[in-house]
Amino acid sequence: MKNSIGKIISINKDLYTVMKDDSIFPCSVRGKLKNIKLTVGDNVKFSEENKTIEEMMPRTNTLIRPLVSNIDKLFIVVSTHLPKFSSYLLDKFLVLSEVNNIKPVIVVTKLDLCDKKELKEVKSILKYYKKLGYKVFTNKDIRKIKKEMKGCTVALAGQTGAGKSTLLNRIDKRLNLKTGEVSEALGRGKHTTRLVELIPINNSLIADTPGFSSLELDLTQEQISNGFIEFGFQCKYNTCTHVKNEGCSVKERVESGKILKSRYENYLKLIGEIR
Ligand SMILES: Nc1nc2c(ncn2[C@@H]2O[C@H](COP(=O)(O)OP(=O)(O)OP(=O)(O)O)[C@@H](O)[C@H]2O)c(=O)[nH]1
Ligand SMILES: [Mg+2]
Ligand SMILES: [Zn+2]
């Protein structure tokens, strides 16, 4: 029998669940494929008869943490509190999306925990990201988020406790994903979601991923710099790393307030990590 083409929607030890149209096939992996590390999101050739995966199709991208491939959009879920808002993680995920050619979408949660002053601060930061052209929603904009997800393979990323599973439960109540209590002492959640899987909802495939407390980026200085989309290439020296060159247009724009200071600081922090 001819092989079919499907998508891996979950992996649990040696059990690979492959979806084709609306059918699900529990598969194992053929010996010759064992040296390729298949991930959730991989498109594969498989035998419906033997329930074996025979071949992996070329990938458009792979994220390491969460480990998923062929993602169209990354929904970056950031909370204002519990865990505390981190522009650093937001920028890190934005860089990760840009470098991997994944469209990022920012979703802010727990605005209800902000007082007036904090709300104003958060809104002014978000305005900057909107101006850069990023889509920014709150976790109350369910209709808009659904529309943005439609027809796409998407992953949710964000710190543990940020409210990723809660958001998905709002998108489809039948999901009934487990959500966690945030530990007040740590101010962060407890990794309630453990396995990565793609869930078919709302005409899209969605990966609710385990949150993380740290995230490593294996990128070059140039990739990171390109990930800050407003930096551009108009510096005096075309090899400018925007660190201490005189006449660096990035540094000038940070000083004049055109580039958000936290963006530049996060850039420095990120390139500091690769040295
Ligand atoms: N006040 C408030 N609490 C929220 C909001 N969104 C989520 N929570 C709460 O935050 C806690 C953590 O939410 P989860 O949805 O489990 O977080 P998660 O991002 O899936 O966490 P992991 O699975 O550990 O990565 C739960 O107790 C939620 O009820 C919100 O907008 N406001
Ligand atoms: Mg979760
Ligand atoms: Zn420069």
Q: Per-residue confidence at 264, pLDDT binned at 50, 70, 90? A: very high
DSSP helix, strand, coil percent of the chain (3-state; round to 5): 30, 25, 45
Contact 169 CB / ligand 1 (< 6 Å): no
86-127 pLDDT, tens digit per residue, is 999 999 999 999 999 999 999 999 999 999 999 999 999 999
**Across the strands, what pairs with 205?**
153, 200
Instruction: Using the atom order of ligand 1, give the atom closest to the CA of residue 180.
Output: 16
**Annotated domain spans of the chain:** 4-56, 62-208, 221-274
In whole numbers, what is the pLDDT of the chain averaged over residues? 89
221-274 classified as CATH 1.10.1200.10: no
> How many other C-beta atoms are found inside a 10 Å radius of the C-beta of residue 90?
24
Instruction: Using the atom order of ligand 1, give the atom closest to the CA of residue 179.
Output: 16
Contact 163 CB / ligand 1 (< 6 Å): yes
Rounded to the nearest 10°, the torsion over CA 74, 80, 84, 87 is 50
Q: Do the domains 4-56 and 221-274 sit in the same CATH topology, yes or no?
A: no
| CATH domain 62-208 topology | Rossmann fold (3.40.50)
- Ligand 1 centroid to residue 177 C-alpha, Å: 11
Contact 112 CB / ligand 1 (< 6 Å): yes
Instruction: Using the atom order of ligand 1, give the atom closest to the CA of residue 191.
Output: 24
Homologous superfamily of 4-56 in CATH? Nucleic acid-binding proteins (2.40.50.140)
